Structure 1
Amino acid sequence: MSVALFALGGTIAMSGHQGGVVARLTAADLTAGVPGLAELGVPVHVHDVDAVPSADLTFARILDVVDRAAAAVRGGASGVVVTQGTDTLEETAFLADLVWPHAQPLVFTGAMRNPTLAGADGPANVLAAVEVAASPAARGLGVLVAFDDDIHAARWVRKTHSTSTATFASPNAGPIGHVVEGRVRVLAAPPPRTPLDRPDPERLATTRVALHTMTLDDDGAALDGLADTHQGLVVAAYGVGHVPSALAAPLGTLAGRIPVVLTSRTGAGPVLSHTYGAVGSETDLLRRGLLNGGLLHPYQARVLLRTLLAADADRDRIARVFAERA
């Protein structure tokens, strides 16, 4: 039994600097500073990837890490841990989950307090992530996020606070398990899903998906010409999937040219399908050709839509996948 750990920088890997903390700690540094890790009896093979802030991560970089993680599994690893900054972790873990084909756990983690601060949470999160990655109880659950001794399914997790160490939550489902006294306890396993086709690297580089968040008195000017520059659009609508009535027709026109996915900007709960009937309601927009994003939050929907478009999925395929996963 062994675990591979890939370090991508972020708060967890930062150290002091005159102008503020910067990423300096290596994967070996991260694991050397974790009390109790050696006592697990699980060899951890460390790998440095890109010591960059998570704001600089890309689809291509994360898919490369997924490839390296898969190679580690094929080489005999019982599971894999990825450490990175938390700002984009909900999106990177979701992307990895879309394409991860293995039963062995792929576990993302990070930290909210850098190592120069009292109560730095990085060591505890690394320990928990390794415990999850090595646990038979975590097999077959897809990609996971281990943070603050909670275990979240990547398909449901959100970053919900800018500074709290309990920032990661799954508003629609709750954590699927916990790490208690070193024991991995899985309480609610997510249903299995078939991995999606990997995006074509060349298509991925040229596939652009916009995200438009509805705000009070939105005039929709930002949508003008969007179908000429982007291959898809995610709308973060009010409530259960509503937009100003004046934007219903323009969105319907866009949906006739590119896939447009309707999501909620609220952070939890679904887009409805047939409750409200006014112009600009969810019923009206779906009738105009928008796709229902269901429980997917806007950032997840954008990751999913871009992944599908870059894999050359047609509109029918995109509609089916969203219906299955939303």
Structure 2
Amino acid sequence: MKKVIVIHTGGTISMHVNFESGAVVPGDSNPLTSEIDKLMEYADIHEIEAFNYPSPHMTPTEMLTLKNIIEQQLAEKEVAGFVITHGTDTLEETAYFLDLTIKSNVPIILTGAMRSSNEIGADGVYNLLSAVRVANSQHAIGKGVLVVMNDEIHTAQNVTKTSTSNVSTFQSPQYGPIGLITKTAIHFHHSPIRHETYDVKDIKKRVALLKVYAGMDVDLLMHVANNKYDGVVLEGLGQGNVPPAIVPGIQQLMNQHIPIVLVSRCYNGIAQPVYGYEGGGKMLEDMGVLFAHGLSGQKARLKLLIGLSDSRMTHTPSAIFEH
């Protein structure tokens, strides 16, 4: 049987409900490890306990550790695929981080759960089984890092958590899933057309993410300018516009050669420099603000962070967001 490595990082998928307090908490042991027999029906499973963190505790440092674990396993063994169990709050960010930093065609699948292991309707084991099946599928080869939840397959770049509690929370609003999982088969109906990667050895840069809102003041941008950040991502209004009050802060950041990337806070459509009024996208582009087409704020932040951390030092901020 093909070898699939399952890497556990924690999250709801490995937690249980404490019925005395009503809180969902980590346990002394990961309940998924008791399900190994079910997984072995589909692949030769090897498990690694990387972390046992709730997903809000995940940082780019842990994401880099996962990248290094995967690359080490690839160097030492013949592996058909990887499955990473992860809390859902930051799952999409870890998936995109790995997608941007791992140069391999081997399937890497992230999955999680919206209901803990001892709740009625717990979805963790089913999602894990589905993820193992996808990791073991030859059709998943070369498609980048994928997210498997609720019988659907999504790309790391497009997927996002859309509901706080619904089991179908992971969606790709603009593009939809790239594949579906049935009881007997894995169906891919389209594929990503490009895959870019960066050479990252450490993460020392600091990139801020700010959501733009009506009546926003300039002080938040001045705080960023005064505290040695290496980059800023703004979730702008509409197609990529900001209130005029923060334009001086943007200019200050540009004067300090701190790159600014603009995305839209809308989850459909892309940011583009259309409007020429003060604070409009065309004005911002003329000032040197970069536009990230089709990325969410959190993913644009990761892409800028990773691009600025590339050890080859060949990527200018504008080159990072050319595509």
The TM-score with structure 2 as length reference comes to: 0.93
After TM superposition, give the deviation of residue 26 of structure 1 in Å.
4.6
After TM superposition, give the deviation of residue 231 of structure 1 in Å.
1.1
Letter in 2 for 1:21: V
* Residues 190-236 of structure 1: per-residue CA shift (max 9 Å, x gap): 023231111x42xx23x211111111211222111422311111011
| Structure 1 equivalent of residue 261 of structure 2 | 261
- Supply the distance in 2 between the matched residues of 1:10 and 1:145 (Cα, whole angstroms): 15
- Supply the distance in 2 between the matched residues of 1:47 and 1:232 (Cα, whole angstroms): 34
Q: In 2 relative to 1, CA 64–182 (structure 1 residues): closer, same or farther, beyond 3 Å?
A: farther
Partners of 1:34 and 1:126 within 8 A in 2: no
| Structure 1 equivalent of residue 5 of structure 2 | 4
Asked if 1:70 is matched to 2:68, the reply is no
- Supply the distance in 2 between the matched residues of 1:24 and 1:72 (Cα, whole angstroms): 27
Partners of 2:6 and 2:48 within 8 A in 1: yes
- Supply the distance in 1 between the matched residues of 2:107 and 2:246 (Cα, whole angstroms): 43
| Structure 2 equivalent of residue 85 of structure 1 | 87
- Supply the distance in 2 between the matched residues of 1:313 and 1:165 (Cα, whole angstroms): 41
Partners of 1:241 and 1:263 within 8 A in 2: yes
- Supply the distance in 1 between the matched residues of 2:62 and 2:38 (Cα, whole angstroms): 31
Asked if 1:272 is matched to 2:272, the reply is yes
- Supply the distance in 2 between the matched residues of 1:31 and 1:172 (Cα, whole angstroms): 36
Partners of 1:34 and 1:127 within 8 A in 2: no
Q: In 2 relative to 1, CA 178–323 (structure 1 residues): closer, same or farther, beyond 3 Å?
A: same
Partners of 1:35 and 1:123 within 8 A in 2: no
- Supply the distance in 1 between the matched residues of 2:151 and 2:37 (Cα, whole angstroms): 15
Partners of 1:13 and 1:25 within 8 A in 2: no
Identity over aligned pairs, percent: 33
**What is the aligned counterpart of 1:227 among 210, 225, 228?**
225
Partners of 2:16 and 2:119 within 8 A in 1: no
After TM superposition, give the deviation of residue 93 of structure 1 in Å.
0.6
Structure 1 alignment gaps of length 5 or more:
none
Q: In 2 relative to 1, CA 63–117 (structure 1 residues): closer, same or farther, beyond 3 Å?
A: same
Structure 2 alignment gaps of length 5 or more:
none
Partner of 1:33, secondary structure, is: helix
Partner of 2:52, secondary structure, is: coil
Q: In 2 relative to 1, CA 182–256 (structure 1 residues): closer, same or farther, beyond 3 Å?
A: farther
The TM-score with structure 1 as length reference comes to: 0.92
After TM superposition, give the deviation of residue 268 of structure 1 in Å.
2.3
After TM superposition, give the deviation of residue 25 of structure 1 in Å.
6.6
Partners of 1:6 and 1:46 within 8 A in 2: yes
Partner of 2:322, secondary structure, is: helix
Two-structure CA RMSD over aligned residues (Å) = 1.9
- Supply the distance in 2 between the matched residues of 1:25 and 1:153 (Cα, whole angstroms): 33
- Supply the distance in 2 between the matched residues of 1:314 and 1:5 (Cα, whole angstroms): 33
Partners of 1:260 and 1:291 within 8 A in 2: yes
**What is the aligned counterpart of 2:119 among 117, 128, 135?**
117
Query: What are the equivalent positions in structure 2 for 1:1-326 lying under 5 Å apart?
Result: 1-17=2-18, 18-19=20-21, 20-24=23-27, 26=29, 29-33=31-35, 36-40=38-42, 42-74=43-75, 75-198=77-200, 200-201=201-202, 204-205=203-204, 207-229=205-227, 230-257=229-256, 258-273=258-273, 275-311=274-310, 317-324=316-323
- Supply the distance in 1 between the matched residues of 2:269 and 2:78 (Cα, whole angstroms): 40
